[in-house]
């Protein structure tokens, strides 16, 4: 398991960024592909916004943008129809693969 996956397993989303040029590296890599320096980690705020979504059975599913423009697909929990640009909180876990889900902050 990678460090990123181990952290996901603990419910922590780590953002990979370049120590030298501060570029956000997504998906995470050891070396920055802009300046070839070593990357480092910082914890995500776990706050994102909805870029787009669709309804699948009774579930919402969408594309969310979190810190530094990182885009992630996942389930969206909402008591009403989500809105584009709405603020969501991200929950992460790892069970043989990463799992991302999002909860609408306030309706």
Residues 21 and 65: their CA atoms lie apart, in Å, by: 21
Q: How far is the CB of 96 from Zn ion (least distance, A)?
A: 31
Residues 6+ apart with CB under 8 A from 51: 62, 63, 64, 65, 71, 84
For residue 71, state whether it binds Zn ion (rule: CB under 5 A).
no
**Which CB, 7 or 39, lies closer to Zn ion?**
39
Q: How far is the CB of 26 from Zn ion (least distance, A)?
A: 13
**Which CB, 40 or 65, lies closer to Zn ion?**
40
For residue 38, state whether it binds Zn ion (rule: CB under 5 A).
no
> Residue 57: is it exposed, middle or buried by C-beta count within 10 angstroms (0-12/13-18/19+)?
exposed
Interface characters, 16-35, with Zn ion (x: CB under 5 A):
--x-xx-x--------x-xx
H helical segments located in the chain: 3-9
Residues that bind Zn ion (CB under 5 A): 18, 20-21, 23, 32, 34-35, 37
């Amino acid at each position: 398991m990678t460090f990123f996956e181990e952290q996901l397993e603990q419910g922590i989303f780590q953002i990979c960024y370049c120590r030298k040029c501060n570029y956000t590296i997504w998906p995470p890599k050891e070396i920055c592909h802009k300046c070839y320096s070593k990357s480092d980690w910082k914890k995500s705020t776990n706050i994102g916004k909805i870029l787009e979504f669709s309804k699948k059975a009774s579930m919402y599913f969408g594309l969310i943008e979190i810190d530094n423009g990182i885009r992630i697909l996942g389930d969206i929990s909402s008591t009403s129809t989500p809105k584009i640009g709405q603020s969501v909180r991200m929950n992460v876990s790892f069970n043989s693969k990463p799992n991302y889900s999002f909860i609408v902050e306030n309706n």
